[in-house]
Amino acid sequence: MKMFKQLVVPVVALAMLAGSFGFAQAAPDTVKIGNIIPLSGPSASVGIQGKQAREMAVEEINSAGGIKSLGGAKLELLFADSKGDPTVGVTEAERMINSEKVHLLTGCWNSAVTYPTTQVAERYGIPFIVPVSVRDTITERGFKNVFRIAAKDGWWAKDQFVFLDDMKKEFNVDIKKVAFVYENGDWGVGFAEKWVDLAKERGYEVVLNEPYPSTASDLTPVVIKLKRAKPDVVFMTSNAADAILLTNTMAEMKVNVKAIISSGGGHADPSFLAAAGQNAEYLFDIVEWEADLNRPGLKETNDKYKKLYGHNLNGESVDAYAAMYVIKEALEQAGSNDPEALRKTLSEIQVCGGKVGLLAYDCIDFDESGQNKNASLVIVQTRTKGKEMDRITVWPKNVRRAGYTPVFPQPEK
């Protein structure tokens, strides 16, 4: 024991002293960004795409010299797998903040996870950037540390109905009966609440209002119900697995409707199109972003992404990509990685052009609630193009792909 005190203690003390010198001299700190996203479970594919987009952006930022106002500090990404589970998300946020000492958090894609997880960040005063999670209430709790880039679902649901109004006028088609089919998480239920109000305002008859568990192994019963309800238009909110099951089963059971309008998420996932193939023909999907948008630098970035990971960018991954550049800009302007300073900068920042300009709008600008007020939406139609499926921007009319006329109503099966 005496030996221990004589030998080990001084050595440890010396090591610590030396270590602290080393620390003081190490020029630029790294900035730790904690990312809580679904890397396994039913939303894993979209989570992994978000991870890839973040990695590509951070690699670009770091190789371009890091954060200049912090002496070239590098960004460091830490990933936690939420499994799409709110409890896991909360635990991981606690771990990220307390053990990993992250300066910022981003995530979580699943609204049900983002909702409680942002609460943890708020309590610890860590800025939380939400690239995509559309549930309205995420930015409606008076939180100071939550910043959302994507549009909220109130805007999405409203634009779906405005789109339907425009289509009815453009093609002179009468629509009376609508059906709502949605996953029973926060996201789907949030959409459905809005849909019910919007349908009432416009005088549509709601023939089916059906939530389903997104972990269901069989959605045939939902499709049978939908077919028997005979709606003119179906509104859907689905994750990837259930979007595939619903779309394929609807095609097999020959469900005839005038249009299907989906809400991004699973329907915007590239693996959905690969798996559903021609069964997804004529589907309308609302998204924030599409690869055929005419934006400067988009093609180069998409080509680079495709070369690295083998698939195209989508709305979700572009938001995640832009989030990294927002963080970079905030760090540059704040000149500090202190969470409070970052929060303040983020609440005032306006990030325009550059990589952020890949989005469908020019600037990211957060209002007092932390919502990006410029976020806008487009609607695409899925069409067969050779062996693959193509998503063609059709609405608003001013951004419609040149020379394309949407198919509305869709032909009978």
- The residues binding other proteins (CB under 8 A) are 39-42, 44-45, 47-48, 184, 210-213, 215-222, 224-225, 227-228, 240-241, 244-245, 248, 251-254, 270-272, 274-277, 279
Q: Which is nearer to other proteins, 224 or 352 (CB)?
A: 224
Print the SS3 string covering 279-321.
HHCCCEEEECCCCCCCCCCHHHHHHHHHHHHCCCCCHHHHHHH
Q: Is 278 exposed, middle or buried (0-12, 13-18, 19+ CB in 10 A)?
A: exposed
Q: Which is nearer to other proteins, 95 or 311 (CB)?
A: 311
Minimum CB distance to other proteins, residue 45 (Å): 4
Minimum CB distance to other proteins, residue 192 (Å): 11
236 forms bridges with which residues in the sheet?
181, 262
Tell me which amino acid residue 145 is: N
Minimum CB distance to other proteins, residue 243 (Å): 9
Q: Give SS3 for 184.
A: coil
Q: Which is nearer to other proteins, 255 or 358 (CB)?
A: 255
Q: Which is nearer to other proteins, 130 or 280 (CB)?
A: 280
Q: Which is nearer to other proteins, 91 or 271 (CB)?
A: 271
- The alpha carbons of the chain give a radius of gyration, in whole angstroms, of 23
Minimum CB distance to other proteins, residue 39 (Å): 8
- The H or E element containing residue 360 is none
Minimum CB distance to other proteins, residue 248 (Å): 7
59, 51 Cβ separation under 8 angstroms: no
CB burial string 189-223: b at 16+ within 10 A, e below: bbbbebbbebbeeeebebbbbbbbebebeebeebb
Minimum CB distance to other proteins, residue 410 (Å): 18
- For residues 77 and 62, give the distance between their C-alpha atoms in angstroms, rounded to a whole number: 11
Minimum CB distance to other proteins, residue 228 (Å): 4
Q: Which is nearer to other proteins, 170 or 210 (CB)?
A: 210
147, 367 Cβ separation under 8 angstroms: no
Minimum CB distance to other proteins, residue 247 (Å): 11
- For residues 265 and 83, give the distance between their C-alpha atoms in angstroms, rounded to a whole number: 16
- For residues 214 and 243, give the distance between their C-alpha atoms in angstroms, rounded to a whole number: 9
Residues 6+ apart with CB under 8 A from 264: 156, 285, 286, 287, 288, 315, 316
129, 352 Cβ separation under 8 angstroms: no
Q: Which is nearer to other proteins, 223 or 324 (CB)?
A: 223
Q: Which is nearer to other proteins, 41 or 116 (CB)?
A: 41
